Structure 1
């Protein structure tokens, strides 16, 4: 379905942040890798989190869920042999489960999103698993991917961090279960180190011991470990909330978002600091962010590597800032559901924004007076692009029509409902 976003000068109200997709994925995975019964409170519900629910159930985990929690009896280091796994369009789920699937004799990950996840490369993880006695058949590093494992081996493992930190996280989930100790060396410039910190945080909570170098470029992982069955609570999600906060920043607003912990390890927490740098009036205390926007913003320069999933929303806010903004060290945006630099900026330009791209930078020449809008936008099946373009639509002079906007459900199914609750003029169209 498509969505029409109409100019909306004022937003007001309170919402609760949805639960973190990143933490939900990791908690469900460590629960499945334990041999006991774990409980996860307030898990996220989205296409990505539903994908890992479905796949760990296929691999033998037993799941029982109500409106507050999910109880999981894990399969430990002995997942059930399956022939196929379907992760939908969830890249992190695919990469984490490629490592887990190395414990199975023969699993094929199918390609159901050839125009999105099907285009994304996974060569670096394939190469790393190959060093561990795992045979992999693939389509030039892309789906479908067949993994012939059963007897993965630890030892010395090298993995590139140039494209994604998810490859490293996948190895960190697998190697504690192996008979051998492992030494993991990261080559190149590791992207999204903050997200590796989230993985290590969850592993520690699950009773796993990993010795990490301070720069996260080398790890010693003792083998023969077991995941402990635990109780976990999922915190609020900063990446999704970034778009709502940006919407409040570019309008006249009185918007409150609850469940956003000040001390969160989510890198996207930086959106609060960036909006402050842009002179957006806000407070952040007791897990609540309160924005009283004026629609007036100042340009900013920001290193986006630590806050990858909030960059597009911050760029959307910068479209209306006074001056020229620069978001740098963001090349890994090119390897997401779409090329989030070239594809996103092309759609922003259609709407009337003045933007430039570099290999690893986004330059925004702000238009405080607003942009023209009045065009149809191709969001490239990308949930982050959909949310960010919606922010732009709120300050466009004419409505924006966002094609295939239902793909926002990949991470934030309630996004448009939450915006409408705050007064945004957004509607679905067939």
Structure 2
């Protein structure tokens, strides 16, 4: 599907933020790892969360759903023995379930997205699992991956945090269920520490004890624990809402986005502060972000590691700011659905933006007058790229056509519907 994004000077209206993908996948996982029935209210509906639903069902969880909630009868540390799992293009789901698969005698994760998830590395998690009496067959750290488990052992486990925090989160979910106590030591650096905080928050809500060092580089996990079956409420999603807020910021707008908690542990909550620093007229009260955009933004310097999944949306806003913006500490963007630095900036240049890259930086020389557009560009099968390029298209002089735009459904199936409800001129054309 192609998205034809036409110049839209004004956005107006209000929407309810979609439910958080990150929290939904985590609640579904701990519901499956619990013994008993858990209830998750307002779960997200996206390709990623659907992948987790499908996979925990395959592993033996009983999942039922209505319009408001989902109930999950978990399998604890005894997943059903299945030969294959298909996580689609959901990297977090794959990585979380690789550790769960250690409780199975043999399980293969198949590769159905060779040009996206199939290219992403998982070596660091594989190395950690191999320290736990788990044998892993893989293709240079990539899919397809076969886990030979059954008797995973605790003890001292080292895992690198250089590429992704998801490897650490995967181990944190699984190790409390082991018979032995475990000690996890994070090597090198740890990317996206804020997201690890979300993992620890969810695990604690489920009644499991983990002792974490203040810098989140060292953990002690008592063995023999069990996740409690509980009720959970999914909060609104900042990563997806970041693109809506960016679109409001670069246009003349009066837009309200509800269900965004002020005290959320989502790192992407920082986009509120980023946009304020860019001079956007914005308030955040009672769970509602209100943007009154006037197309006037100023450049700034931002540590992108604090809001990884919203960096591209903020870069899109910076394209139209006065001055040069710098987003640093973002190398982990290279290891997502695509290389979100090189690939994304190549598409921005086609649209007329003036951008540069370093290994771990994105530099944007703003063009407050706007960009030309008028070209067809590639989504790189990446939902975050699609959302950010749409923001640029709205402020371009000739619009943009984005190929493979249907992949936005990975995290935000209603993204274009929500934008159009606010007045955005976007046409979707099936190919």
Query: Any idea what the Cα deviations from partners look like across 1:153-208, whole Å, max 9, x if unmatched?
Result: 00000000000000000000010000000000000010000000000000000000
Query: Any idea what the Cα deviations from partners look like across 1:261-319, whole Å, max 9, x if unmatched?
Result: 00000000000000000010010000000000001100011000010000000000000
**Cα distance between partner residues in 2 of 1:371 and 1:420:** 21
Matches for 1:238-317 after TM superposition, within 5 Å: 238-317=238-317
Shift in Å, 1:429: 1.1
What is the match of residue 139 of structure 2?
139
Shift in Å, 1:83: 0.3
Shift in Å, 1:240: 0.0
List runs of 5+ in structure 2 lacking aligned partners: none
**Cα distance between partner residues in 2 of 1:62 and 1:119:** 32
What is the match of residue 88 of structure 1?
88
**Cα distance between partner residues in 1 of 2:257 and 2:156:** 45
Give the number of equivalent residue pairs: 430
**Cα distance between partner residues in 1 of 2:126 and 2:282:** 45
What is the match of residue 378 of structure 2?
378
What is the match of residue 180 of structure 2?
180
Query: Any idea what the Cα deviations from partners look like across 1:55-114, whole Å, max 9, x if unmatched?
Result: 000000001100000000000010000000000000000000000000001000000000
Runs (4+) of structure 1 exceeding 3 A deviation are none
List runs of 5+ in structure 1 lacking aligned partners: none
- Taking only aligned residues, the RMSD between alpha carbons, in angstroms, comes to 0.3
What is the match of residue 7 of structure 1?
7
Shift in Å, 1:6: 0.2
**Cα distance between partner residues in 1 of 2:55 and 2:306:** 29
Shift in Å, 1:399: 1.7
**Cα distance between partner residues in 2 of 1:3 and 1:420:** 12
Matches for 1:41-190 after TM superposition, within 5 Å: 41-190=41-190
**Cα distance between partner residues in 1 of 2:173 and 2:72:** 17
1:230 corresponds to 2:201: no
What is the match of residue 388 of structure 1?
388
Shift in Å, 1:342: 0.2
What is the match of residue 196 of structure 2?
196
Q: Secondary structure at the match of 1:11?
A: strand
What is the match of residue 352 of structure 2?
352
What is the match of residue 30 of structure 2?
30
Query: Any idea what the Cα deviations from partners look like across 1:226-281, whole Å, max 9, x if unmatched?
Result: 00000000000000000000000000000000000000000000000000000100
TM-score by length of 2: 1.00
**Cα distance between partner residues in 2 of 1:300 and 1:424:** 27
**Cα distance between partner residues in 2 of 1:247 and 1:382:** 18
**Cα distance between partner residues in 2 of 1:355 and 1:251:** 21
